[in-house]
Amino acid sequence: MNGYLLDTNAALIALTDPGRLPQAMQTAILAGPNVISVVSYWEVLLKSMKGTLDVGDPRRWWHDTIDQLAATVLSLKPDHVGMVQELLPLHKDPFDRVLIAQAVVEGLEMVTLDSDIRRYASPVFRVIS
């Protein structure tokens, strides 16, 4: 697979206020192909249920995100879960750790504003921020 895996925050901002994203991120998202993980949907759903994130109906948000960003959905696979064990403990957020693992396994570049994710950058894990 090739393309750009958008982390949850990047996807949220890309839909609501894309001008807040650095130019490199905007360029990557416009160029595509964009990939959104079902893990981001899970994260948005849980935060919405807790009241810490307001996206309206999370199911509607998910479908709108896929449509508006012309994204392909990435499911969670056993290889992704296994890769989490290989990651250094630089980031505590389990959702972000799984997204990083997915990007590594699938050979995707990660589009993110998260400075902790950038700490994982390497020849096998490219980060656009």
pLDDT at residue 1, rounded to an integer? 72
Pairing, β 34-37 against β 127-128: unpaired
Query: pLDDT by residue (tens digit) across 40-66?
Result: 999 999 999 999 999 999 999 999 999
Query: pLDDT by residue (tens digit) across 84-129?
Result: 999 999 989 999 999 999 999 999 999 999 999 999 999 999 999 9
Q: How are strands ordered across the β-sheet holding 71-74?
A: 71-74, 34-37, 4-6, 109-111, 127-128
List, in order of start, the domains of the chain with CATH numbers.
4-128 (3.40.50.1010)
Report the run of H or E that residue 65 belongs to, with start and end.
Answer: helix 58-68
